[in-house]
Structure 1
Amino acid sequence: MEYLIIAEKPAAAARIGAALDARGRPVEVKTGKGTSYFQVTLFDTGERAFIVNGAGHLFTLERARGAKGIPVFDFKWARNGQNKRAAQYINTIEVVARQRQFGQYIVATDFDTEGSVIGYNILRFICVPAGSTFKSVLARASRMKFSALTVGELRQAWTARSPMLDCARIEAGCTRHRVDVMFGINMSAAITSAVKSAGKGYHVFSIGRVQGPTLREVCERDGAIEAHVPETYWEARARARNGTGGKVLVLESVPPSFKQEADARAIKHDCEGKVAIVSSIQQRRVTKKPPAPFNLAGLQREANLVFRFKPAKTLKIAEKLYLEALISYPRTDSEIIPPTIDVKAIMLAVEGNPAYQADARAVLQRGNLVPSKGTKMDEAHPPILPTGASKAGIALTKDEESLLDLVTRRFLALFGPDVIWEERVHEIIASSHPFKLVSNKLVSSGWAGYYPYFPVASLDDDPGLRFGQQLTLHEVDVLEKHTNPPPHHSEITLMGYMERARIGTKSTRAEIIEKIKARGYIDADPIRSTPLGKKIVEVFDTFLPAIVSEDMTRELEDDVDAIQSGTQHEVDVLEKTKRIITAMLAQFKAREQSIGSELGQLLAASSPTRGQHAVLGKCPACSKHDLVIVTLKNKKRFIACEGRSDKSCNVILPIIQVGKIYPAKKNCPSCGYPMVKCYAKGKKPWEFCVNWSKHGPREKIPAGQA
């Protein structure tokens, strides 16, 4: 009997082939189109198997032929036009799958919702041979389930493969795709149509059921920041030296802040230059247990904290490490290592790496390998763990090495003893005024000895003061402070909001943030809403709040999850989605003119159009007409004064050819010409004068951007 194995990506196919082949050397057959497949002689039976692969989603949902207008609910799976190599992979799979009669079809894509949908679509749309039916193919389909691409795990997954596909997971994944495309296509078309019907021209807008509430959260945070009214307060901090030539200590007054400056000044007057006495020392022992194993969200948070990696970058690197069999599957929610995982075997493998040998050996010598755990459990995959596999022959970048080290050292830390320190609170009296000094004395570094990314040094700053010791307060500083607004969101905190609100999935949250950023709704570093993003939320809050409400999105997420658990059915969830969208579009239609007019006014102000001309501000040369961006038919653009039409002003200026240009609503301090702000993909927004070419070289646009 011959077998057809379906992998998700080329690298995974190669790993699976090497693991299942009896000699560990699968035969790679290249098709001449930049793709290939593998032939293997199975290690257990000696039978022949063929391994093909996709490259992400080869199929995507599109409007069915003839489906026009809105609402539209008729979507069909079609070849993914956005995946440039989809056709090549499909052709390669067809060559293998349709020319043979396979006795068994094995889906070996990633064992998660997206992986199951990818494998299922390849099976039903490509692998049915001539003269056969999908039902016949499905009856001979089985599922490999693995969490790492190591030889041992892949062979175990082959031997213990499930005799049928994970149908509930497939149904849930397909449903989520349909729900998302229904919302995306219908609501985006409705907004675009509203602006056009209001006579504001044709502008493509896009909004989705997860993007809406995510954008609203950014706008609400921005609103809280803008509404913040700073309150002034004062602090009094004394500086003393611990003995001759000793460390300078900073003492905090009690209370730590004052609403009246005079109260802080009184402390300075009474205490500066005076002798203070340590009147009491209170101490307590503090323990910090080992951290939980990494799930994807935890790894993204820690990598951002330690290396300043953005979430999308962390996921990309983690996927590379997974495909190189260096870590387990990264798209997991789990913080609990199940008892089926042989942690001792992993530790012994880690010990084989000289960089971790001493620490791994110390853990093994302690015995009783019981890892710490968190609270979340993922039925499909364990937490992110190192495999301990050798890096020999694998080219890793510095960032990839760093993330692998983070995962490996986190694994070591799971088995370490508690970190223990003593927290000491010193009360110090000077001229009847109390001061406080808090310090720490490290007792045991515990698991932090294996995990240098924990700031254990900050827990060992005790100055060694004694009860009754005298200190001279050399200076007392009075500091004027102001209360701070809430901070802007970062990508990590915004993903944290999405996780708490239960919108999006662990795999898509970073991608959703990138989407609303690419559409010009938010800026990054830190994340802030743009005028366009604010206006979209304002319009929907006023006319159709459901589209930016997390409640509706969360309810549909729960429905899709219920399909996977077997308590809901696809048809019921899709019918419910259709009812929601139909009701929303009816409300939208009744307010279409108002919505179109509101959004159109914003376009006229910030990304305005007069035909093909974008308005930037008054022309300083004539003080009569506006400077506009003129876009030609070939998409090239330049800045000109509108006085060119009657030849009253001939100002023409060059402009960069990438990104979106918005007025900065201020003039250049050097020449008086308008300033603009540019938003370009992959770059931080920057401001410059439209007259930049007449300035000195230091004021010109950065090289390569003109």
Structure 2
Amino acid sequence: MHLYFLSLPSFGLITLLLSLNCTLECDSPNDISVRPPTRAGVQNTLSEMVSDYRKCFSYSSSVVYSSGFSLHRHSCSPVLLFDAEVEKYCPENMVQIKRTLEKEVKQCQLLIIWTDCDREGENIGFEIIDVCKAVKPNIQVLRAKFSEITPNSIRRACDTLSEPDSKVSDAVDVRQELDLRIGASFTRFQTLRLQKIFPESLANQLISYGSCQFPTLGFVVERFKAIQSFIPETFYKIKGMNFNTQRNTLVFNPTLTSPFHLFFVSVLHEVEEDTVEFSWKRNRLFNHTACLVLYQICMEDPIATVTSVTSKPKSKWRPLPLDTVEMEKLASRKLRISAKETMKIAEKLYTRGFISYPRTETNIFPPNLALGPLVEEQTQSSVWGAFAQRVLEQPGGPNPRQGKKSDQAHPPIHPTKHSSSLQGNEGRLYEFIVRHFLACVSQDALGQETVVDVDIAQEKFSTSGLMITARNYLDVYPYDRWTTKLIPVYEQGSQFQPTAIEMVDGQTSPPQLLTEADLIALMEKHGIGTDATHAEHIETIKSRMYVGLTSDQRFLPGELGMGLVEGYNSMGYEMSKPNLRAELEADLKLVSEGRKDKWSVLQHHIQKYKTVFIESVHKAKKLDEALSPYLGAAQEIPEEQQQDMEIPLPIRKCPHCGRDMVLKKKREGNGKYLTCVGYPACKTAVWFPDMVLEVSRDQSICPTCRPAPVHMLKLKFRRGSLPPMMPLEFVGCIGGCDETLREVLDLKYLRAGGSGGSGGGRGDGPHPPAPPPPTAPSSNARPSLPPVPTVVPQPQPPPRALSVSASSDSNTIVCNCGQQALLLTVRKDGPNQGRQFYKCNGGTCGFFLWADQPGQQGASQSWGAPLQVSQPPRTTVNSANAGQTMCHCNETAVTRTVQKDGPNKGRMFHTCGKSREQQCGFFQWADENTPPSGAFDGGYNGGGNGGRQARRITGAATADKPPAAKRPRTCGICHTPGHTRATCPQR
């Protein structure tokens, strides 16, 4: 059995297929089955093709699926909608059709898609394919392509079945998702904010935004402002006419004395009751004195000499084949039918078989389309039948004028059969389409033009006349006008005296408000929308009250529309301009042609619009200021509501989910915390301690941390909370490369793959409990942040049982937790790049050991063995090297200066003086005090490349004693946990 799926605009196709010798069986409106009566009775291509099969037809009045956000986002920040998950779901009104498809496809071997042959139709087709393949994955799928509902067209479609084009469907998926994200984000932002700012005017109004509708509004506003800013200028010119009265007349208005006027002169000549006006070759001047001088020269010798008489053939071209945009424009101008109504009527005419598919960008008739039968069909008309017969009899038969556009999908719009019963606007639009078709396959109008040039006192004037010799297409196309203009016979070299020479004035005029045809032309020119969506976007800005119509059907911007455009323009982002959307439309075309990847285009434009959105929100007061002159004074918003409306700028990407991490204010207290915008799905967060008084995003970007960009932070600390040598305000990186910030805040960086909070696991390691939600921050909670990977894990053997005896495996390195240590390699640029080291597999005990460190390589590590790498740097005072810093090799350390750009550039440090291959890994800042022996509170080894050393490691631990549980941090004054010495109330 074959299953044919048709969308509702093609529903008339069911009737046609039934007329091709099939019997209808209908159980419900959504379950239409068609069976051939007998095999012997099959007489056409379709029935022959499926004569041994049961044929089932189903149709849809709309798309099967709709797009929406996977979670309810009614209370979320609008910026989150750029990253929120989008899913497709089946609307309730389409469930029955989906069930019908699932039921029928079980018995089918072939699925043929008969949806409209445009982008949207292809996308609907793939929705149907997805539904059917979910039930029957191996079903064969073919695509029928047609442009009109006629027997010949359907037979051609059946003979030329092809594979569906997924690239065209992908372009629609990208457009739908972008329109959803962009529209939802901006609409939510505008509506929530402006309803609070202007409650009296906009309390209950939806203030929508669309990436197509806003540039459409921008065209209307731009024209209106051009009219407002237009300054008219008065002009002057010389005007001369010739009458057969043979009188010379000089006319001059002495009151026209403004130097800013435009002057022009015209010569008139009347012969045998015909008035001939000669135009000045200079046309007009804006200088009164200059025009007056030239006029007086002409009047001193007002004899006109004919310098040339030129006669040449003249043609008025017949119209191009009709595409959708041209049909909308001409219907608006000539028939006074709106674009929306035009497309609605055209769709009806198409489904009833009167015209071809009305959504096409093509104005070239394909060579394989037989035009003769289409013209012959119109010979039945009592109105234009005679002209159609003339077209058939003209030399060469129907000969259309060809345009330059083709969408390679549909031919130009043309009639497919004759009708004399259509009434109202349906009849008027059908008549226009027929007349346009007959005109474009006819011949150009022909005429003879005569141009006469004359000279008066060396000033040049000219006139022209026209004699129409063959009207041709004008006989059937009353929408064009071409009239005869008679002038007397002039001979070259002859002279005559003009009847009148005048110096007259006029004024420059501003452009007119846009008509619907003008607006559609601008949308097409700048790539806003498609031929199928122009009318929809225009109707949207009308329904939102962004624009209105004057009595002569011209667009006038409303107060809300004016304010929105002016507000966004004042921000520096010309969102009312077509640039952003035009680039998107161009990329969608490339996706449909397979020249660009679907996902790269999607992500590129999401990020572009997201950047514009964030900046627009931060400059939202300019939107309020622009709307105030139209809607009244802006309402003051309480500070807490203002904070809720603000959208923080991203600091870096979350290592768990890839979304942005931003700074937010704590609900309790004045502090801030860094959190993922994906909360509550993602709980990654960094809580800054109370000693951080202020934290904000700096414009500078860390050149080291990845994934870029990682923005630096401006921090201000409480007085007394930092060592004396450190400033209370500085700029640092939260990405993991800033050692100073990492040491001061004691940050424990999250690892990708963990569950969030203060130190998530590494995928295969133990995971700590999930942190509390950001709504209840603790002032003394440890901040945490994902690390920047500076090392690449090497393959490790499976963990083996811990052994503390001398007989244990000599190649096993264990950490302080008693687990096998993880071998890593330093990747970060620096003196230790490429060097291997061991660290704790779970990241809990802070163990660190260079793999090539003397006396440790290959040695078994027991829990109680003191670690060489955790010993503090030593300053020798009782030897020959007294006062000098010694490295782990017990040799004098060398002093070097940081040359790499960053917060530590120019800072001096001590390190091992041996070559890189033999270095012990010793490192110490030259300006830091040496901690006392036995109380070393781990610093950083290897210039920050090796990780953090274990804290307070002593040699008292034994192999049979597990590591002690970490005690909570207590105050150094009152010894009470929960706060530090800097914030102690007894201080």
The TM tier, using the shorter chain, reads: 0.7 to 0.9
Distance 1:40 1:119 in 2: 23
Which of 98, 103, 123 is the matching residue for 2:103? Answer: 98
1:74 aligns with 2:70: no
Contact 1:17 1:26 survives alignment (8 Å): no
Alignment of 1:356-371 (within 5 A): 356-365=384-393, 366-367=395-396, 369-371=398-400
Which of 483, 495, 502 is the matching residue for 2:527? Answer: 502
Deviations 1:596-617 (A, max 9, x none): 63366356429x9999xxxxxx
Specify the alignment match of 1:534 in structure 2.
562
Specify the alignment match of 2:224 in structure 1.
222
Deviations 1:58-81 (A, max 9, x none): 54322223444322132223455x
Once the two structures are TM-superposed, the CA of residue 550 in structure 1 deviates from its matched residue by: 2.4
Specify the alignment match of 1:43 in structure 2.
47
Once the two structures are TM-superposed, the CA of residue 231 in structure 1 deviates from its matched residue by: 0.8
Alignment of 1:103-182 (within 5 A): 103-125=109-131, 128=132, 133-134=133-134, 136=136, 139-162=139-162, 164-182=163-181
1:246 aligns with 2:246: no
Change (3 A) 1:98 1:24: closer
Deviations 1:168-205 (A, max 9, x none): 11111121111111110011112233335758685532
Specify the alignment match of 2:481 in structure 1.
455
Which of 391, 408, 414 is the matching residue for 1:379? Answer: 408
Change (3 A) 1:299 1:596: closer
Deviations 1:76-95 (A, max 9, x none): 23455xxxxx72x6525634
Contact 2:12 2:351 survives alignment (8 Å): no
Once the two structures are TM-superposed, the CA of residue 21 in structure 1 deviates from its matched residue by: 4.4
SS in 2 for 1:545: coil
Deviations 1:280-320 (A, max 9, x none): 43333233444321111122233333223332232222222
Could you tell me which amino acid in structure 2 is paired with residue 383 of structure 1? P
Deviations 1:658-683 (A, max 9, x none): xxxxxxxxxxxxxxxxxxxxxxxxxx
Specify the alignment match of 2:597 in structure 1.
569
Distance 2:579 2:458 in 1: 56
Please, which runs of 5 or more residues in structure 2 have no aligned partner?
37-45, 245-269, 638-987
Distance 2:130 2:629 in 1: 47
Specify the alignment match of 2:357 in structure 1.
329
Alignment of 1:14-25 (within 5 A): 14-23=12-21
Deviations 1:616-656 (A, max 9, x none): xxxxxxxxxxxxxxxxxxxxxxxxxxxxxxxxxxxxxxxxx
Once the two structures are TM-superposed, the CA of residue 478 in structure 1 deviates from its matched residue by: 5.5
Distance 1:114 1:496 in 2: 22
Specify the alignment match of 2:660 in structure 1.
none
Contact 1:278 1:466 survives alignment (8 Å): yes
Contact 1:333 1:377 survives alignment (8 Å): yes
Could you tell me which amino acid in structure 1 is paired with residue 120 of structure 2? E
Which has the bigger relative contact order, CA under 8 A and spacing at least 6? Answer: 1
Change (3 A) 1:116 1:40: farther
Could you tell me which amino acid in structure 1 is paired with residue 164 of structure 2? L
TM-score by length of 2: 0.54
Please, which runs of 5 or more residues in structure 1 have no aligned partner?
81-85, 612-706
Could you tell me which amino acid in structure 1 is paired with residue 439 of structure 2? A
Change (3 A) 1:556 1:280: closer
SS in 2 for 1:423: strand
Distance 1:350 1:79 in 2: 45
RMSD: 3.5
Specify the alignment match of 1:53 in structure 2.
59
Distance 1:391 1:38 in 2: 31
Deviations 1:351-371 (A, max 9, x none): 454544433333333226543
Distance 1:476 1:600 in 2: 54
Could you tell me which amino acid in structure 2 is paired with residue 377 of structure 1? S
Deviations 1:246-271 (A, max 9, x none): 34444445544344668579969987
Could you tell me which amino acid in structure 1 is paired with residue 136 of structure 2? S
Contact 1:19 1:150 survives alignment (8 Å): no
Specify the alignment match of 1:619 in structure 2.
none
Once the two structures are TM-superposed, the CA of residue 487 in structure 1 deviates from its matched residue by: 2.6
Deviations 1:376-408 (A, max 9, x none): 111111111222x2327xx52233223223322
Deviations 1:71-128 (A, max 9, x none): 2132223455xxxxx72x6525634652552222222111001112233334535xx4
Could you tell me which amino acid in structure 1 is paired with residue 505 of structure 2? E
Could you tell me which amino acid in structure 1 is paired with residue 7 of structure 2? E
SS in 1 for 2:375: helix
Alignment of 1:582-597 (within 5 A): 582-592=610-620, 594-595=621-622, 597=624
Specify the alignment match of 1:683 in structure 2.
none
Specify the alignment match of 2:537 in structure 1.
512
Alignment of 1:3-18 (within 5 A): 3-9=2-8, 12-18=10-16
Specify the alignment match of 1:466 in structure 2.
490
Specify the alignment match of 1:631 in structure 2.
none
Higher mean alpha-carbon deviation, 91-100 vs 447-456, is at 91-100
The count of residues paired between Structure 1 and Structure 2 equals: 585
Contact 1:271 1:473 survives alignment (8 Å): no
SS in 2 for 1:597: helix
Contact 2:31 2:100 survives alignment (8 Å): no
Distance 1:60 1:216 in 2: 29
Distance 1:533 1:496 in 2: 21
Once the two structures are TM-superposed, the CA of residue 230 in structure 1 deviates from its matched residue by: 0.7
Higher mean alpha-carbon deviation, 115-124 vs 483-492, is at 115-124
Contact 2:236 2:504 survives alignment (8 Å): yes
Which of 601, 609, 613 is the matching residue for 1:581? Answer: 609
Distance 1:224 1:284 in 2: 41
Distance 1:609 1:324 in 2: 55
Deviations 1:562-601 (A, max 9, x none): 2211122322222223322332233234324x14633663
Once the two structures are TM-superposed, the CA of residue 544 in structure 1 deviates from its matched residue by: 5.5
Once the two structures are TM-superposed, the CA of residue 329 in structure 1 deviates from its matched residue by: 0.9
Which of 423, 438, 450 is the matching residue for 2:449? Answer: 423
Distance 1:371 1:182 in 2: 44
1:348 aligns with 2:348: no
Once the two structures are TM-superposed, the CA of residue 334 in structure 1 deviates from its matched residue by: 0.8
Contact 1:198 1:596 survives alignment (8 Å): no
Once the two structures are TM-superposed, the CA of residue 337 in structure 1 deviates from its matched residue by: 1.3
Could you tell me which amino acid in structure 1 is paired with residue 451 of structure 2? V
SS in 1 for 2:613: helix
Once the two structures are TM-superposed, the CA of residue 148 in structure 1 deviates from its matched residue by: 0.4
1:485 aligns with 2:483: no
Contact 1:190 1:585 survives alignment (8 Å): no
SS in 2 for 1:424: strand
TM-score by length of 1: 0.74
User: In terms of Rg, which structure is larger?
Assistant: 2
1:315 aligns with 2:321: no
Distance 2:443 2:186 in 1: 54
Distance 2:625 2:64 in 1: 39
Distance 1:264 1:57 in 2: 71
Distance 2:392 2:217 in 1: 48
